[in-house]
Amino acid sequence: MSETLAKKFGYSEKVMDHFKNPRNIGVMEDADVTSKVGSVACGDLIKLYLKFDPDRDQIKDITFESYGCAANIATSSMMTEMVKGKTIEEARKVTFKDISETLGGLPRIKLHCAVLSRQGLETAFLKYEAKRGRVKMDESFVNKILRGVLDPVQGIDIISAKILQDTKIEDNKITLDLKAKPDSELAKSLAEDVHDAFEGLDVELDLRFKE
């Protein structure tokens, strides 16, 4: 993207720097936890990889993969820089507004990228805490994880989009009733994204699609 186009879209120099030279990018093979939020179908997707110091709950390392626009890449890059080395408690104080402001601001229509990167971080923390037995995998936990799964048509999470109709949890089995035509492209996309959202957790997913 040229400097002229960057100014036209309202991107700051910092946004363009993190877009062209993203920090902490790539797959981490020995990650303690991963989180994937967004959807390729709706244009923005982030996958985070985190390694922790378990004695201090400190983020030893964090990397990301991103599919999307310049703002999506830049916000993910900046977010990883801002939280690396922090404890979970400290990192949770970093807001999507902090990410945007540290980048020199984002166009209003691109603020959702900062929100998505922050959602990915919170999802990673929730999964890490679940794996360490600190949080219960109840309906509240499931809903928080599903906030990162987007309806590819509307571009909002499947709870707000009312695609999620019902949730049942029994031991480690999670049954989700989802509003989508069985065997449709929407159902296939949702199934992939929901399974990715719970990747690494000891759960059995039963997805039931209904029109």
42 is catalytic: yes
Per-residue confidence (pLDDT) for residue 9, from 0 to 100: 63
Last residue of a domain, one of 91, 111, 135: 135
Last residue of a domain, one of 78, 110, 135: 135
Confidence of residue 8 (pLDDT cuts 50, 70, 90): low
Q: What is the mean pLDDT of residues 160-174?
A: 96
69 is catalytic: no
Per-residue confidence (pLDDT) for residue 182, from 0 to 100: 95
Confidence of residue 4 (pLDDT cuts 50, 70, 90): low
127 and 182 part of one domain: no
8 A C-beta contact, residue 60 and residue 39: no
Confidence of residue 115 (pLDDT cuts 50, 70, 90): very high
Query: Which entry of 1, 6, 42, 135 is annotated as an active-site residue?
Result: 42
pLDDT for 6 beyond 80:
no
pLDDT for 7 beyond 60:
no
What domain range is 169 assigned to? 139-211
113 and 143 part of one domain: no
Query: Which entry of 33, 62, 113, 164 is annotated as an active-site residue?
Result: 113
Last residue of a domain, one of 135, 163, 183: 135
CATH number of the domain where residue 70 is located: 3.90.1010.10
- For residue 52, the tally of other CB atoms under 10 A from its CB is 21
Per-residue confidence (pLDDT) for residue 39, from 0 to 100: 81
At 52-96, the pLDDT tens digits run: 999 999 999 999 999 988 999 999 999 999 999 999 999 999 999
CATH number of the domain where residue 204 is located: 3.30.300.130
Per-residue confidence (pLDDT) for residue 1, from 0 to 100: 54
At 90-114, the pLDDT tens digits run: 999 999 999 999 999 999 999 999 9
Predicted TM-score (pTM) of the model is: 0.91
What is the three-class DSSP state of 61?
A: strand
149 and 63 part of one domain: no
In degrees and rounded to multiples of 5, residue 15 shows phi and psi of -60, -45
Q: What is the mean pLDDT of residues 16-26?
A: 96
pLDDT for 158 beyond 70:
yes
Q: Tell me, rounded to whole angstroms, the distance of Cα 14 from its chain centroid.
A: 22
17 and 61 part of one domain: yes
Per-residue confidence (pLDDT) for residue 211, from 0 to 100: 86
CB-based contacts of 10, cutoff 8 Å, min separation 6: 105, 106, 107, 110
186 and 119 part of one domain: no
13 and 52 part of one domain: yes
Q: Number of folded domains in the chain?
A: 2
For helices 185-197 and 139-146, give the axis angle rounded to 10 degrees. Answer: 120
